[in-house]
């Protein structure tokens, strides 16, 4: 059966590190275990900043992208592919107007993170995740991992960023 | 002479931590040295994330807000006022469309940090900066501090956030 890739599938794919939505990629032809990462990597909220991201449209998403030490080192040294052990985290929030700030501004122009929407990770393990470019993908909403259908949408989208080892986010100076 | 506070003055004030623009606050009536912080605090790019921010309009600004250990601890413990030694950094970039991401999305909706525009700091020292609520303000563009007229705009705007010790940015979970 022909694989149907709808634009909507990829809306969230570059919101931060990785966002996997929809089910149309459910037929993606790869052999990896589709629930890649079942536990939230500890300490991620203390990791250093890689960059920030904003998606308009249905996603309405605001992201902070953080990296563990291995990921940050690779980014700063411009090393590709990322070494095993690198983990990139995207903390997603709703992109929310700040009434408080706008009051100071005197007009509507200020946006801040609203409620957290999900936390996503890309975990590099070239052996374990060989079938998906060496990356395991993770999505947690309210602490619970995304289901198989959702997780099947990650790799086909990220696979479009082959030139940067499947990672969309660039390091912000 | 009556102090004229134009809305434009405060456009940038809450873009991240502190943005000081314009000169209409030049007559602000305080006694502090107006060039507060003359050197960029070392190691700030390794500090932990407080939040992200986005300003539309003339500012077109994208910010990552980071804190040193003292600031992060105070945020996490909900301690106000911030203790001496707390430093909050706002790394500002232009809010820039990502052609690469939009190509994957199939439509224009993705924004990433473009060129860095400035780095700003709030440094807590209740004695040194007693005349400005205990905070010293800093603005660096291409490594150079903002001039006196610019720096005079910071405190009057931040002084509107008395309920949160003159800090606009909230901690993102």
Percent of chain B past pLDDT 70, that is, above it, reads: 80
Return the residue of B nearest to A112 by Cα: B53
Distance from CA of A129 to the nearest CA of B (A): 23
What is the residue whose two structure tokens read 């990322």? A82
Which comes out higher in pLDDT, residue A104 or B71? B71
Whole-number pLDDT of residue B5: 35
Q: Is the pLDDT of residue B19 over 60?
A: no
Residues from chain B contacting residue A101 (CB–CB below 8 Å) = 14, 168
Tens of pLDDT, residues A50-91: 999 999 999 999 999 999 999 999 999 999 999 999 999 999
Residue B66 in domain: yes
Residue A129 in domain: yes
Residue B2 in domain: no
Establish, for the pair of chains A and B, how many residue pairs have beta carbons separated by less than 8 Å: 134
Of B57, B59, B64, the CB nearest to A172: B64
Distance from CA of B86 to the nearest CA of A (A): 17
Whole-number pLDDT of residue B45: 98
Asked whether this complex has an ipTM greater than 0.90, the answer is: no
Q: Is the pLDDT of residue B142 over 50?
A: yes
Interchain CB distance below 8 Å, B53 and A173: no
Domain containing A63: what range?
Answer: 7-164
What pTM, to 2 d.p., does this model score? Answer: 0.86
Interchain CB distance below 8 Å, A52 and B66: no
Copy the structure tokens of residue A56.
């308009």
Distance from CA of B130 to the nearest CA of A (A): 23
Return the residue of B nearest to A61 by Cα: B110
* Helix locations, chain A, DSSP H: 69-77, 99-105, 148-151, 154-158
Residue A73 in domain: yes
Residue A2 in domain: no
Alpha carbon B79 to its chain's center = 20
* Helix locations, A5-153, DSSP H: 69-77, 99-105, 148-151
Interchain CB distance below 8 Å, B56 and A111: yes
Number of domains observed in the structure of chain B: 1
Residues from chain B contacting residue A168 (CB–CB below 8 Å) = 100-101, 104
Residue B170 in domain: no
Interchain CB distance below 8 Å, A104 and B63: no
Cα B48 to Cα A40: distance, rounded to the nearest angstrom: 18
Residue B147 in domain: yes
Distance from CA of B80 to the nearest CA of A (A): 18
Which of B7, B10, B169 shows the shortest CA–CA distance to B91? B169
Q: What is the CATH number of the domain that holds B37?
A: 3.50.70.20
Cα B36 to Cα B148: distance, rounded to the nearest angstrom: 9
Residues from chain A contacting residue B116 (CB–CB below 8 Å) = 172-173
Residue B172 in domain: no
């Amino acid at each position: 059966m022909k694989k149907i890739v709808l634009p909507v599938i990829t809306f969230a794919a570059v919101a931060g590190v990785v966002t996997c939505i929809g089910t149309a990629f459910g037929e993606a032809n790869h052999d990896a275990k589709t629930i890649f990462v079942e536990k939230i990597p500890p300490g991620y909220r203390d990791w250093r900043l890689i960059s920030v991201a904003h998606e308009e449209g249905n996603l309405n998403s605001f992201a902070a992208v953080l990296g563990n030490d291995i990921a940050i080192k690779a980014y700063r040294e411009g090393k590709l592919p990322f070494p095993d052990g690198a983990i990139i985290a995207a903390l997603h929030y709703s992109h929310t107007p700040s009434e408080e700030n706008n009051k100071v501004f005197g007009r509507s122009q200020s946006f801040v993170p609203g409620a957290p929407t999900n936390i996503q990770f890309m975990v590099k393990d070239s052996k374990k995740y060989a079938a998906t470019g060496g990356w395991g993908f993770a999505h947690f909403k309210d602490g619970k991992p995304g289901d198989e259908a959702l997780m099947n949408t990650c790799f086909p989208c990220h696979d479009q960023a082959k030139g940067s080892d499947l990672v969309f986010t660039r390091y912000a100076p």
